[in-house]
Amino acid sequence: LMHAGRLAEAERLLTGLLRLDPALTAPMLHLASLYLHSGRGAEHAAMLARLAQVRRNPVQALQARALADAFARGGMPALLATRRDAVLASDDPHSIAILVDLPLAPLRRDPRFAQRAARAGFTPAMVAVLAGER
């Protein structure tokens, strides 16, 4: 639903799932992505913090805090810059986000995107597939 642009419906279903079982991590991940795509940076960071708490993952908790701080400091541009910097780190387990996150989709045809994706360890073929070139 989210990828089809039906964000309100996706959000209702995902929050409903979390009401049924507050420990489900998949809805948290999808809601975090939905909030990011919708420009709701504070909610994005809060959902990632909730996910880190459920997973008992202090590293993810620190990352969520950094996003919340960035958003408080400079809104979505600062949050996205913080996210970008984390994604571009080749050792970040979430670096796949550079290829699949909806907010980054318009950038995939920009040659600078391919350069940054390569720095994160992705091949030009991977970027081309997601840019719709293959």
Contact 107/127 with Cβ under 8 angstroms?
A: no
78: which residues sit within 8 A by CB, 6+ positions away? 70, 71
50: which residues sit within 8 A by CB, 6+ positions away? 28
pLDDT at 23: 95
pLDDT at 126: 74
* Model pTM above 0.75: no
**Rounded Cα distance, 132 and 100, in Å:** 12
pLDDT tens, residue by residue, 67-113: 999 999 999 999 988 887 776 655 555 566 666 676 677 777 777 77
pLDDT at 69: 97
Higher pLDDT, 117 or 98: 117
Contacts of residues 128-131 at CB distance under 8 Å and 24 or more positions apart, as own/partner, are 130/99, 130/100
What stretches of the chain show up as alpha helix (H) in DSSP?
Answer: 7-20, 25-37, 41-55, 58-88, 97-100, 111-119, 124-130
Contact 113/127 with Cβ under 8 angstroms?
A: yes
Tokens standing for 81? 């810059």
The mean pLDDT of 54-60, rounded to a whole number, is 92
pLDDT at 85: 78
**Rounded Cα distance, 95 and 99, in Å:** 8
Contact 19/10 with Cβ under 8 angstroms?
A: no
Phi, psi (deg, nearest 5) at residue 122: -95, 140
